[in-house]
Amino acid sequence: MNRHHLLQQRVQQRVDELVGSGQETGVQVAAYLHGEPIVDAVAGVADPATGRPVTPGTPFFSFSTGKALTSTVVHVLAEQGRLDYDLRLAEVWPEFARHGKSGVTLRHVLTHTAGLPALPPDVTTADLADWGRMCAILADTAPEWEPGTAHGYHVWTYGWLVGETVRRATGRTLSQVLATEVAAPLGVPGELLLRVPDEDLDRLAVLDDRSWSDALKQLSAQLPNFDRAVPHGARPDADLGNDRAFLRAEVPAVGTITARAAARMFAALLGEVDGVRLISPARLREATRPVTRGPEWTFGMPVRWTLGYAVDGPMIEVGGIGGSLAGALPELGLTIAATKNSLAVGDGDPMEQLREMIISAVREETPATLPSRISRE
């Protein structure tokens, strides 16, 4: 435990330096090892206008890191026998079958192979908050490729595709399942959110833009499919992440988290956390097995997806724009999450550096580390 105390000190020192230098405004970093917390470091302010400090319980809107919550809900429901990965969406959502989509399964959606990453060019942030409108758009959309034959990051559409399927199949929204089946058993109510209740809005960290808006413009100019997946009226920037109407809506491709709750959730996927285990070891193996290979449609980069999580070396994780991340190293029993409110790119990615610091420290104290099962497959 002394080594873990030293790791906590090292991480805390680093986040203090990041805030002290002005590179970051507010930061949370948390890690669990074999179901026990080993890092919970915070620094900076959640709201520069008022000076409200970041605490371990301050929720941060963390963009696509929220997909980890959505994916986890699916696995929990599958573990309970209430959902099947091979469920055809049209079985519970009949209008979705239009334009040759009758064979699209939940497995296709989880692996970003459904062929539905694009949105209409005139979609707005108000549209994103309109559940019925977005589901109707997707039901009436033709796939970009034959489902299952290619993959492309479903930046926005992931949430409605999974969420409407869950709603139709179970009668509950993703937020309802997340609150009762994940957050409550883990003792982190109000820290894993796919929509923010009115009473929690004032607790959130306020986002600011360092370099992310410029990065969005570059992505738009350089990538042929980026604007189709992320239209100009639906840019995931700091203004969107501070928009209360948007935050109140259920948009399950994005989410609001604390680092400690996200690390705890991943820990409960790997094993027990205070007596709570979300899924079985067999389901964990299935959920973390890489499925896709090669370049994907949206960004044109090679990306490997499991059932709902991206593979980054030995980690399964989902990262959000501007620097947030949450994931796990099953081989080590380690989970890590980080949040921040200054959205930046090209800054050396300090949250990834902190992640590597934690991984290296845990590896050093692990007597014999087997090769990662993920990297071998």
> 213-263, pLDDT tens digit by residue?
888 899 899 998 999 999 999 999 999 999 999 999 999 999 999 999 999
pTM for the whole structure: 0.96
Integer angstrom CA distances of residue 47 from 69, 213, 230, 256, 287: 25, 20, 28, 16, 37
Q: What is the largest CA-CA distance in the chain?
A: 60
Q: pLDDT tens, position by position, for the chain (377 residues)?
A: 467 899 999 999 999 999 999 999 999 999 999 999 999 999 999 999 999 999 999 999 999 999 999 999 999 999 999 999 999 999 999 999 999 999 999 999 999 999 999 999 999 999 999 999 999 999 999 999 999 999 999 999 999 999 999 999 999 999 999 999 999 999 999 999 999 999 999 999 999 998 888 888 998 999 989 999 999 999 999 999 999 999 999 999 999 999 999 999 999 999 999 999 999 999 999 999 999 999 999 999 999 999 999 999 889 999 988 889 999 999 999 999 999 999 988 777 899 999 999 999 999 987 654 433 333 23
Q: How far apart are CA 271 and CA 302, in angstroms?
A: 30
* CA dist., res. 188 & res. 153, Å (int): 29
